[in-house]
Each structure stands twice: as structure tokens, then as C-alpha cells.
Structure 1
């Protein structure tokens, strides 16, 4: 075989291999693009709409609370118009969100949300009717017991939708990453084969014909950076550019995912271990409850609860048992609370109960019931029975501090007195030791 025949054959092989590589690469890239488009067109809009619905529902609930505290008819009329506008926005968002529900779990969560919102609207109509009929106390009772429960169910359903869509987004990212790795492997294999053939062709040409190689080198040295017109070398610039575009697309999607995760974390209001409210929600609800109680002239109390000798439980039975005890305490406390009370994990083994519309005697009685309930119901962990007790500090009543942080401080001071006096007891702020 003559030299130029060998070079021609090697060149044709390089062209054929590169053509096959381009076809495979484009196919894989198309799959990556489809996965990315599914990720950005379905998951992110669903998360945004669920977040917007949660914000609109919260705004509607706040206006409902303002409605209960307003006596001026003109202000009532303004609130009614605002509620109507928010209701229209909620319905529009619900219709758009329904079109993005791709799985059975998402549709079930949306159905649960719609059922809760329907009951929430029925309770709200009852609140409006009782308020207009001159029965504000009845309206407040409906809001505290029925409306609040349905509102919480709505928010829980929206959180479920966001969680399911988060999982879908993570799956889309995983699929895109897997396809990209496969594409990168193909690129590497074909590239190495092309390099090997090119090196063989170059070595063959260098051995037998030096002048054409010198001309080619001169052409490459004197040509502009934009390209190699007139030279027998095809630049792979397009492939490199598209890979760069793919990297930038993934970087943008990663940034959007980080922002969405941050928004989801900001929306989270529940302690993952115990199921109680977290500290962020406690502070927000506490400030709002203090304001409502002070404006309505109602008492507001707080109970600071600490598990006695909790470190001993962890040291003796292990941290898994300690987690089980925290969950057990949370369940026992919730069983004895009213719908209007809020249980929150304050940190470590400390819990706080916000009890609006509760005077000092009522709050102290509630604290004693909770203390006895925990004492007579030991926790079960890893097949072992673990007796636990709690110390409780109570603060509040008609003479509650002007701000929620001061109320918590008083409850914490009372809790310290309860623990100093021997633990497994209740102490009320302001009472003599």
C-alpha cells in the first residue's frame, strides 16, 4: 500500500469515528437536555407555586385574625375586599399548580389541600356571619379551634407537595448527571481512539514526507486565531463550545436549586425529630399571640419544660434512646394541649408551650397535668422502659411582660427555680421559693 493510500485510509477512519462520535454525543446530549427541561419546566414552577400558595394562605389567615379584632365597619369592608382579592389569587395559583401535578402522590396531596381549604373557607364564612351578627366571642372560638386546624392541614399539604417536587427535582438532576457521565465516557473513549489514529498518521507522514508537514506547520503558525482557512485540519471548536454551554447550564440549574432549597428551609417550621414546632415558628407565633392577647385584654402564658437528668438517659441508654425519649415527651405533651396552644422544641431537651388566653392558675394547672402525665407514662426505647420526669416553669397571665422574649425569660427563671427545688415539679414566676 502506497503512503498516501495509508494516510487516506487513516484519515477516513478518523472522519468515520468522529462522525459516529458526534451522532452518539448528540443523542446523549438530547437526553440530558430533555431531563434538564423537565427539571426546569415542572419541578421549579411547582415549588414556586406551592410556596406562593403558602404565603397567600398565611396572608389570608392573618387578615382573618385582623377581622376578629376590628370593630370599625369601614375597616371590615376594606378587609373583606382584600380577602376577596387574595381568594382570587389563591384559586388562580391552585389551578396552575394542579396542571403541574405529575404523580399520584402529588395529586393526593393537592386533593387533601383542597379539602382542607374548603373546610377552612366554610369556617371563615361562619366567622364572618358571627362577627356581623354581633357574636365576636363565638367567631374567635371558631377561628381558634376550627379555622386554625384546617389552616394547619393546608400548610402541611403544601409542604408535602414541595417535598415531593424536591424529590422529583433531585431525581431529574441525578438522571442528567448519569447521562452526562455516560456521554463523557463516550467522549473520552472516542477521543483516545482518534488521538491514536492521528498519532499514527502523523508518525507515518513525518517519516516519509517532511516537506508537507513543514508547510502545514508554517500554515498553522501564520494563520489568524479565528480559524485555519486553507489548511487540511478541522478544528473541534464546536464540540468544546457546546460542552462549555452544558457546564454553564448545569451551573445555572445548581444555583436555582440552591435558591429553591433555601426557600424550602425558610418555610420549614417543624422540628424534624419530635414533630413539634421549631424555635423559628415559636418566636413568630409568640410575638403574634402576645400582640393579639394584649389588644383583646386576654391573658397569655408560657410554659418552659425541661427533661430531668436527660444527659443520664443518653449516657446510660445511648443517643438513639434519647431521641426516642424526646419524641415520647412531645407526644405526651400534645395529648393534653388545646387546639389554640402551641408546643415547640426550644432546644436540646427543652420544650416551650405557648398558651394564649390562659391565666396564671389555668397555666399552672395545665403544667401540673403535663408533669403528672409524663411521670406516669415512662418512655419505651430499644425494648427498655425508661422512666422520665420534667420540671416546668410557668410565666404569664394578665400581668404578662410586654414582649414575648421577656415572657420566655420569666418562664425560664421559674424553670430554674423548679429544678433548683428538686426537679419533677412546677414553679410559677413571681411565687416565693
Structure 2
């Protein structure tokens, strides 16, 4: 006896599909830090409520200047509606330049908390969310070397100097460039020079901590910002990088290239007046290293 197939009408199938389409799909909510010491980082808002503040109990902990222990809270009302509430913070919460107590926010809104910390609220589908993060990473990275670009470096350095002042912790800056890079370009062409810089960028990321800011300052000059790193620690890092480059062979179209680094370091616990002062001190140390014969480390400490 054959088994009779259930009779499912076309109307039933269409009704079922319409019901499935009518169920709203939760979008991914997140905040992207666009200035401050955590610039470039993305935080997912996965819970119905997420608090931002300095306190360790917060879902997103930011220790930048002017941020209160419990500063503000994101609250999800439904699948695509979020409310931002200020939690009686000292310096307030601002959305698109207006100070708020509580307001609904939409994707793309810019939020400022504390002194210099800004965020961008994003509410996107999974694919769009990834595209936005990739776009932002492209904006803050140097295309050739893969390290951060100068604009990102300066923003982070301002935030790191403020952090060092507030906590009395050491902050070190390394400035360095390749010895006789012009000779490599003149001898082998600018293509070889670009290849060398790209491979150097990968080497620098391999020999630094994840929290270190490695950036291209311009040409063959690079800067590293190392939070919590003393004068001795900065010198050790500089020596490790110097030895790593000295022992490396860089390849370009079957040619093998060697080069060396000269580095200058400067360390502060917040005494530096501004980032220009700190960079200038590190640059003086780099100049001293060049004058002493290249392939060496110069040090300045306040």
C-alpha cells in the first residue's frame, strides 16, 4: 500500500514564507572607537544593556581622560532600536555634538565621552558590519607596509601621553629609519625600496607587542609607541629590532638585500609638554645614533 503524500497547497507555502520574512532579524550592534587610547577597536553590543566606563565591571572599559566610572549605557529596546543613556557622568555624553541625558540612536551616530574619546555607533547586518570595519582599517593603515599611518599614530600618541600623565606610568617612543636607504633606491630602483619597506613592516609587527603602536611616519622613517615601557625597556626593544634587521635578508625579484637600522628612543612619565616635544627628543637621539656611526641606538630620558 503506497504512502500518500500530504496535500500542501501553494497558498500554504506562500503563507509560510511570508511569516518567515515577517520575523525581524536582529542586526549586529557595535561601537567603533574613532579617537582616544583605544582608537580602531570595535566592541560588540551583545547584551540588552552595555555600560561604558572606567570601572572594571563595565562591559566596555575605557580609561581615557574625563570618563566616569559608570559613564553611559546602551540599552536595546527591540531588534533595531537602541537608546543611549548618560549615567550622571561628570563630563557628559554627547551625540552628534548635542549633550544628551537619554536618546535613541541610529547607525552612524557619533558619540563623545570624556575629553577626547569618540565612538561611532553601528547597527548593520553581518556582511555590512565586516565591510565597515575593513574600511576603517584601510583608513588607518599604511597601504605599503601594513603598519599604522601617521594620522593614526598622532591620535594614539596624544591619548597615550594623557594616560601616562594620569597614571604616572612610563611611555616610550622609538623613531628609526634605514641606514643608506637612498643608496638602495639609487642602485636597485624604487621598486626594490618599496619591497624592502613592505618586508620591514612585517618584521616590525612580528617583533613587537600587540598593544604597541607601530606606524610609518613617512618615507623609510617609522615610529613605535610603547605604553608602560621604561627607558631600559625601550632600549631593549630598540636593540632587538636593530639585531633583527641586521640579521635579516630581504628579497626582491631574486636579489637579496641587506640593511641596518639606526634608532632613537625617548621616555617620559608624562613630563613631556606635548607629543611634539616627545617626538623631538626621540629624533635627537636618532640623530645622535647616526652621528656615532649608524646601526646603533640613541637614548633620551626626561
Name the TM-score, length of structure 1 as normaliser: 0.45
Name the TM-score, length of structure 2 as normaliser: 0.63
For residue 211 of structure 2, give the secondary structure of its aligned residue in structure 1.
coil
Alpha-carbon distance change, 273 to 296 in structure 1, aligned in 2, over 3 angstroms? same
Alpha-carbon distance change, 65 to 355 in structure 1, aligned in 2, over 3 angstroms? farther
Alpha-carbon distance change, 65 to 314 in structure 1, aligned in 2, over 3 angstroms? farther
* Residue equivalent to 1:83: 73
Runs (4+) of structure 1 moved beyond 3 Å?
Answer: 52-61, 63-70, 85-96, 397-400
The C-alpha deviation readout for 1:160-185, integer Å capped at 9, x for no partner, is 3x4xxxxxxxxxxxxxxxxxxxxxxx
The C-alpha deviation readout for 1:381-404, integer Å capped at 9, x for no partner, is 111110011100000143751321
Residue in structure 1 matching 2:132, options 140, 158, 162: 158
Alpha-carbon distance change, 95 to 394 in structure 1, aligned in 2, over 3 angstroms? closer
Whole-angstrom distance in 1 between the partners of 2:270 and 2:122: 48
The C-alpha deviation readout for 1:232-268, integer Å capped at 9, x for no partner, is xxxxxxxxxxxxxxxxxxxxxxxxxxxxxxxx89x81
* Residue equivalent to 1:284: 155
* Residue equivalent to 2:191: 320
* Residue equivalent to 2:266: 395
Structure 2 unmatched runs, 5+: 1-27, 44-51, 56-60, 85-104, 108-120
Whole-angstrom distance in 1 between the partners of 2:42 and 2:251: 42
Deviation for aligned residue 1:319: 0.6
Whole-angstrom distance in 1 between the partners of 2:196 and 2:270: 34
* Residue equivalent to 1:179: none
* Residue equivalent to 2:124: 97
CA contact (8 A) 2:141 2:149 kept: yes
Deviation for aligned residue 1:430: 5.3
For residue 74 of structure 2, give the secondary structure of its aligned residue in structure 1.
helix
* Residue equivalent to 2:92: none
* Residue equivalent to 1:34: none
The C-alpha deviation readout for 1:309-355, integer Å capped at 9, x for no partner, is 00001011111110011111111111111121100000111000001
Whole-angstrom distance in 1 between the partners of 2:222 and 2:181: 13
CA contact (8 A) 2:261 2:294 kept: yes
Alpha-carbon distance change, 384 to 400 in structure 1, aligned in 2, over 3 angstroms? farther
Larger-gyration structure (1/2): 1
Alpha-carbon distance change, 383 to 92 in structure 1, aligned in 2, over 3 angstroms? same
For residue 275 of structure 1, give the secondary structure of its aligned residue in structure 2.
coil
For residue 402 of structure 1, give the secondary structure of its aligned residue in structure 2.
coil
For residue 251 of structure 2, give the secondary structure of its aligned residue in structure 1.
strand
Whole-angstrom distance in 1 between the partners of 2:208 and 2:74: 34
Whole-angstrom distance in 1 between the partners of 2:240 and 2:275: 24
* Residue equivalent to 2:200: 329
For residue 69 of structure 2, give the secondary structure of its aligned residue in structure 1.
helix
Whole-angstrom distance in 1 between the partners of 2:299 and 2:157: 19
* Residue equivalent to 1:427: 298
Higher strand share: 2
CA contact (8 A) 1:300 1:400 kept: no
The C-alpha deviation readout for 1:20-56, integer Å capped at 9, x for no partner, is xxxxxxxxxxxxxxxxxxxxxxxxxxxxxx9x95468
In the alignment, does 2:236 pair up with 1:365? yes
Deviation for aligned residue 1:290: 0.6
Alpha-carbon distance change, 96 to 399 in structure 1, aligned in 2, over 3 angstroms? closer
Whole-angstrom distance in 2 between the partners of 1:64 and 1:370: 36
Within a 5 Å distance, the mapping from 1:211-290 to structure 2 comes to 268-290=139-161
CA contact (8 A) 1:358 1:397 kept: no
CA contact (8 A) 1:276 1:344 kept: yes
CA contact (8 A) 2:161 2:270 kept: no
Whole-angstrom distance in 2 between the partners of 1:69 and 1:320: 43
* Residue equivalent to 1:410: 281
Structure 1 unmatched runs, 5+: 1-49, 102-106, 114-156, 163-263
